[in-house]
Amino acid sequence: MRLRPKPALVLITADWCMYCRMQKNQLKKNRELQRALSQVYFTELDAETTGEVVFNDKTYRFFPTGVATGRHELAFALGEIDNRLSIPTWVLLNEHFEIIFKFPGVIKASELSRLLESLGKNLE
């Protein structure tokens, strides 16, 4: 991202989340997302991944919250609203890794298309 700066769209998910699976299936069919990928990075972040992730020169780790459960620090850092993390959560970062948009929940295909369309216009 540092070599080719552009905004990043992050979808924070979890394996057990049926809404996340529904959202991911919707993304596969979304032509606007496929076109927008030339102007924006897109990634999915599993909120319960146990591996370390280095982001913006800081290492984030898994934080256990009980027996065989927990959350990843990066997912919480990016997606928390009022000290809570909803699954799924959408996060849009600018090219300087600053959060410019958060949306907890499922985004309808039409809303995602509008978001990507407005993002594309702002990048041109």
- What pTM value is reported for the model? 0.87
- The candidate with the shortest Cα–Cα distance to 14, out of 45, 46, 43, 51, is 46
User: pLDDT per residue over 97-110, tens digit each?
Assistant: 899 889 999 988 77
Q: What is the spatial distance between Cα 27 and Cα 57, in angstroms, rounded to a whole number?
A: 29
Residue 60's identity, in one-letter code, is: Y
Q: pLDDT category, 6, cuts 50, 70, 90? A: confident
User: pLDDT per residue over 77-93, tens digit each?
Assistant: 999 999 999 999 999 99
- The candidate with the shortest Cα–Cα distance to 11, out of 123, 98, 91, 115, is 91
